[in-house]
Chain A
Amino acid sequence: MAEVQEKVETKVREPKEPLFSKKNKKLITDPLTDNNPITIQVLGICSALAITAQLKPSIVMAISVIFVLGVGNVVISLMRNIIPSKIRIIVQLVVVAALVIIVDQVLKAFAYELSKQLSVFIGLIITNCIIMGRFEAFALGNGPWKSFLDGIGNAAGYGVILIIVAFFRELLGSGTLFGFKVLGDPIEKTGLYAFGYENNGFMVLAPMALITVGIIIWIQRSRNKALIED
């Protein structure tokens, strides 16, 4: 008898989802692969072109976006019932702007050189379509925990592509990884350079970032035919 009553009770109460249920996990893993913001939704391309010439700024950028989108999604989700829908874009902008300024100030204080390298692009996180897109599409309609996972997932999906692109661009364009000369010294002609190898200057230019993203999209869609749209 007792057992039956418990069952009834749980049915009356909303069945509580575990923190990392299958559905919640999908919120993180989906944007990493089959619903990647860059390769599938084709958002946030501008910064992917601008700062991926080297690995270090790309990783800082990825972490910054993870922070901004994760926290921002939670904040918007908490306020979702009190934001008048007419001015929601302004509210969203204020939230992003506040978070971006925090990131910018932290970078200026603790990593001045990097922040100079990233220059305007940290500020331009505000205009990153992925962030406003997730606020609009997800945080306004879901609870804070789910929104948090969604934010982290999408930002990580963005970051993964950034890092892959930056890896190839830095390795082939400058012959370095994180600034270490992994292929030898181009001036003293050591390592690969002794055999006549030369850095590919095209990789450092923005068009090659676009082409690299294109190649990633190509590989991804040829492995998973379901992603090909007409």
Chain B
Amino acid sequence: MGLKKKLHELKLKYKDKKMAPAFNAFHTFLYTPNEVTHSGSHIRAVDDLKRTMNTVIISLIPCLIFGIFNAGYQHYSAINGFPQDFSLFRDFINWDNFQLGAITVLPLVIVSYVVGLTVEFIFAVIKGHEVEEGYLVTGMLVPLIVPIDIPLWMLAVAVVFGVVIGKEVFGGTGMNILNPALTIRAFLFFAYPTWMSGDKVWVHEAVDRAGTPDAISGETILGGLAQNKDILVETAAKGQEVAYTISEAFYGFIPGSVGETSKLLILVGAAFLIFTKIASWRIILSGFAGAAAMGLIFNGIVDAGWIEESSKFYGLMSTPFWQHLIIGSIAFGVVFMATDPVSGSQTNKGKWIYGFLIGFISILIRVFNPAYPEGVFLAILLMNVFAPTIDHYVVQANVKKRMKRLKVKTA
């Protein structure tokens, strides 16, 4: 009770001063505010913005913890070779993996939150409005969608850019056109491509080991498929070539961005978000449907024999459509990024269209642009831009329909 009282007193002391929003933010973040509305009719519900944000963060925590263990697992496997008969508790959830993962992943989380919230506080103080909670989720998403070895200062620069240009210039939380976390990733991707793509950034210290004779590069499945390598195999026979089975990809024991590898835990997070009614199941479902549709089209092209096996698109085009949903980070993007309620579509019909196109375009970019082995972040940013247009036409169509009904009645 002591801290709450102290914060409350501080808040009263600094009322109408410049720093007031900062104290208020701390106060309401930690405790339920004392002030409630008294007059008029208001809906009093527990799920305010802060609760919503916290729910999303909880759904992301399994992915973060998995990412920590996976960082260590990938690192030690790259040095010592992959374990022959994999056992979850011996080879994956162990102290070594956790230790290495923690010292590489937690700094990303800390930098993301410290820099992002500092920018938020500065803007709140300058503008004289309350600190907005929008960064709470973004700050958690950012470390999960970057490669493990990204230099911290680059992350900091990108976070400043993403928060200022992606959000604050439009008026802050709730007014942004683009998803801030994806803006940050896009900035990193275009600004420092050598740190964000290729086959050596996904495993800790893989760049330093690149010269050594029996180095396992730690290439992602998508990167391998884009070069027509046999990186996806039926059975887990580990020979000289690094290869993964589709079930490994599903459980997430593969190299990739920190938190997006485990599709199982992403589905758990998705179930939690749908159960709490925070993420739209329409967007998630139609996103996967769109990706599957594009995958089916490509499979159809391969089956029809329109594309030669020597073509550079063959590897990804011939991947069965359901595997497209598991490899790469499309699951993470569709579940956690596309469902952002601010930058996504608002109408129910719009959500179907919006989600479907995200999945559809993601696979299109993935297959046809080897420079961007994962197109899901570009697809979501693109559809973010189009979301208001989709909503506009959905609303207009509804207006037209109802006008017709009105005319029929009057006539």
Q: Using a CB–CB distance below 8 Å, which chain A residues touch chain B?
A: 196-198, 200-203, 205, 207, 211, 214-215, 218
Contacts and interface: CB of A to CB of B under 8 A. Distances in A.
Given A196-B151, A196-B153, A202 B169 contact: no
B275 interface: no
Given A197-B153, A200-B191, 20 more contacts: A196-B151, A196-B153, A198-B151, A198-B154, A198-B192, A198-B195, A200-B157, A200-B192, A201-B190, A201-B191, A201-B192, A201-B193, A202-B187, A202-B190, A202-B191, A203-B191, A207-B190, A211-B165, A214-B169, A218-B169
Nearest to A196: B151
8 contacts: A196-B153, A198-B154, A198-B192, A200-B192, A202-B187, A202-B191, A203-B191, A214-B165
B162 to A, nearest CB: 12
Nearest to B154: A198
Contacts of A196: 151, 153
Looking at A197, A201, A214, A215, which has the most chain B CB atoms within 10 Å of its CB?
A: A201
Contacts of A211: 165
Interface in B161-212: 165, 169, 187, 190-195
Contacts of B151: 196, 198
Contacts of A214: 165, 169
A207 B194 CA distance: 19
Contact of A205 (B165, B169, B190): B190
Interface of B: 151, 153-154, 157, 165, 169, 187, 190-195
Looking at B187, B191, B193, B195, which has the most chain A CB atoms within 10 Å of its CB?
A: B191
Contacts, number: 26
Contacts of B190: 201-202, 205, 207
Contacts of B192: 198, 200-201
Counting from the closest, the 7 A-B pairs by CB-CB distance are A202-B191, A202-B190, A200-B191, A201-B191, A201-B193, A196-B151, A198-B192
Contacts of A218: 169
A70 B192 CA distance: 42
Nearest to B126: A222
Nearest to A195: B153
Nearest to B188: A202
Nearest to A172: B191
Contacts of B165: 211, 214-215
A189 to B, nearest CB: 14
A218 to B, nearest CB: 7
A198 B192 CA distance: 8
A222 to B, nearest CB: 10
Nearest to A198: B192
A201 B197 CA distance: 13
A205 B191 CA distance: 9
Contacts of B153: 196-197
A92 B153 CA distance: 52
Contacts of B187: 202
B159 to A, nearest CB: 14
A181 B153 CA distance: 21
A214 B154 CA distance: 22
A94 to B, nearest CB: 41
A167 to B, nearest CB: 18
A49 to B, nearest CB: 15
A212 B90 CA distance: 52
Looking at A197, A202, A207, A215, which has the most chain B CB atoms within 10 Å of its CB?
A: A202
A218 B157 CA distance: 19
Contacts of A198: 151, 154, 192, 194-195
Nearest to B151: A196
A211 B193 CA distance: 19
Contacts of B194: 198
Nearest to B153: A196
Nearest to B194: A198
B160 to A, nearest CB: 12
A172 to B, nearest CB: 9
Contacts of A202: 187, 190-191
A200 B193 CA distance: 9
Contacts of B191: 200-203
A201 B194 CA distance: 10
B207 to A, nearest CB: 13
B191 to A, nearest CB: 4
